[in-house]
Amino acid sequence: MDKSRASAVAALLVTAFAVVYAAGSAVAGWEPSSGWLLQALIHLGELAAVAALALSDAAVRGRLGRAGLAVAAAGQAVMVAAEIIWPRNEDLGNALFGVGPILTGAGLIAAGVTVVRARAWSGAARFLPIGLGTYTIFVLIPVMIGSGGPPAPLALWTIAGWDAVFFALAACVLARAGSAATATPKVTVR
């Protein structure tokens, strides 16, 4: 299994769990005491989706694309740190929660521009990275600020939507990797 497929599979499994976890928490109004650890693992799954995109054939090339992916990955790493730090130092954790999504969103928008321009993917899939970045900046962040963040049901539903788009991105990378692996190579006879 190539690296993009392995990252995409990991991202699919974790983000599928994340959607169920966030939606379930929104409905039940409950979060386990170890929620910070589960959420840190979820952010690692989201990071795996960014890694899968970076390793895919989506033509994320050039300075803008590479920089965007690096910034998005840094944003997700900051989110992991925020989850781990927050139970022990709320002020620092909250500051990191303020920075992480901005980095992720801006990075995915930059990388998404290169995916759209490269036309390596067709149809709506081509717009997933830029759509995920846009969702992060224009939906996730304002809802987190306006609702006060989790455990507010609106915040949890918005996070479930965010992870659903990460899931779609990972599924697209996996589908593209699978179709590339099963494609019959063209043989020319001279």
**Helix 153-182, helix 3-28: angle, nearest 10:** 160
Specify the DSSP class assigned to residue 118: H
Sign of CA pseudo-dihedral 70, 73, 75, 80: negative
DSSP 12-52: HHHHHHHHHHHHHHHHHT---TTHHHHHHHHHHHHHHHHHH
Question: What pLDDT is stored for residue 179 in this prediction?
Answer: 67
Q: Does residue 130 contact residue 116 with C-beta atoms inside 8 Å? A: yes
Q: Does residue 130 contact residue 115 with C-beta atoms inside 8 Å? A: yes
Q: What is the pLDDT along the chain (190 residues), one digit of tens a residue?
A: 588 899 999 999 999 999 999 999 999 988 888 899 999 999 999 999 999 999 987 767 789 999 999 999 999 999 999 999 999 999 999 999 999 999 999 999 999 999 999 888 888 999 999 999 999 999 999 999 999 999 999 999 999 999 999 999 999 999 988 665 554 444 444 4
Question: What pLDDT is stored for residue 189 in this prediction?
Answer: 47
Domain definitions of the chain by residue range: 3-182
